[in-house]
Amino acid sequence: MGKAIPMVELWRGGLLESTHQGHAVVCDASGGIVESWGDPGRVIFSRSSCKMIQALPLVESGAADAVGLTPAHLALSCASHQGAALHVDMASRWLADLGLGEADLRCGAHEPLDDEERDRLICAHEKPCQLHNNCSGKHSGFLTYTRHVKAGPEYVEIDHPLQRAVRSAFEEVTGETAAGYGIDGCSAPNFAGSIGALARGMARFAAAEEGGSTRERAMHRLTRAMATFPELVAGEGRACTELMRAMGGRVAIKTGAEAVFVAILPEKKLGIALKIEDGNSRASEAALVSILARLGVLDPDHPMAQKRLPAPQVNWRGLRTGELRLAPGFGG
């Protein structure tokens, strides 16, 4: 088994200050590895990067169509959003249309990542609710499926019909038996697997066609929804939103906690998965930009790419103090 390799470096004053090591894999539609760095067999939790897999039962079961979900809803079901007004309002209306409410969610509440919504709550002396949780769209999708199959309300339990369906989808799409599971920040089970298997799963999304099997049609719909509504997948200032816009909707990308990132490239029928060992998102964003540019789908000179690689480091006075660079052997 391979070891993590240096991928991204932080330089200051002409000296190397920090090094981020990691793993990355690019797979094609056949499941073959096109290129890899580090260990493709490294077992990880994909965290929120696998939300499109978690949304497959929602679409495949007919639950999404039964209640008339739009591509925007599907994008939100794959989101790790900012908790901005557009995200909160959409999730709230979605639940209301189901005859449900915020109390039916099982994701927990946290302060919104969106500054405007955070400030509104403070000024109004209001507390954040579960709709502000970055996973409230995913959980709205979970509730839609649960209602459709008439299952119990505790949909995050590992033996719930929804989570059994998610596990089956995860294992079938990645082509690998889950190595186990952990509980994510939003209380849902998160299944573990190798980085190579995750990249293989993303390649299957990339190769899925509108006229294919039930699963392929579901994959195609979710991928197109994400690429069409990048503002719903993350939010303003976030890498997922800005980079998908920079690529003109040709590529769908999704981050996960602890520096996991995936990308779906339909035009090239390729899937990408990467993990930075120390969990640093500045490094995962820089590494993803490098691979996307290497594959010819992202202009490295685009401002949204340059924002992350070479990613100038600026202090509180606006002085440039250093920059991120690719490590020799990865891209340097």
Q: What is the pLDDT along the chain (332 residues), one digit of tens a residue?
A: 579 999 999 999 999 999 999 999 999 999 999 999 999 999 999 999 999 999 999 999 999 999 999 999 999 999 999 999 999 999 999 999 999 999 999 999 999 999 999 999 999 999 999 999 999 999 999 999 999 999 999 999 999 999 999 999 999 999 999 999 999 999 999 999 999 999 999 999 999 999 999 999 999 999 999 999 999 999 999 999 999 999 999 999 999 999 999 999 999 999 999 999 999 999 999 999 999 999 999 999 999 999 999 989 999 999 999 999 999 989 75
Say if 328 falls within a structural domain. Answer: no
Q: What's the CATH number where 251 sits?
A: 3.40.710
Burial classification of residue 329, based on how many CB atoms lie within 10 Å of its CB (0-12 exposed, 13-18 middle, 19 or more buried): exposed
Residues of the domain holding 97? 16-314
130 inside domain:
yes
Are 78 and 137 in contact, with CB atoms under 8 Å apart?
A: yes
| pTM score, whole prediction | 0.96
- 324 occurs within a structural domain: no
- Number of domains present in the structure of the chain: 1
Residues 178 and 191: beta-carbon distance below 8 Å: yes
Tens digit of each residue's pLDDT (9 = 90 or more) over 177-201: 999 999 999 999 999 999 999 999 9
pLDDT tens digits for range 106-153: 999 999 999 999 999 999 999 999 999 999 999 999 999 999 999 999
Residue 10 placed within a domain: no
Long-range CB pairs of 160-167 (<8 Å, 24+ gap) are: 162/57, 163/188, 163/189, 165/57, 165/61, 166/53, 166/54, 166/56, 166/57, 166/191, 167/191
pLDDT at 77: 98
Tell me if 4 is assigned to some domain.
no
- DSSP H helices, the chain, are 51-54, 56-60, 63-66, 71-77, 85-97, 115-123, 136-148, 161-174, 195-207, 214-228, 230-233, 239-246, 281-294, 303-306
Residue 6 resides in a domain:
no
- Domain assignment present for residue 1? The answer is no
In a domain, 5, yes or no: no
The reported pLDDT for the residue numbered 165 is: 98
pLDDT at 1: 58
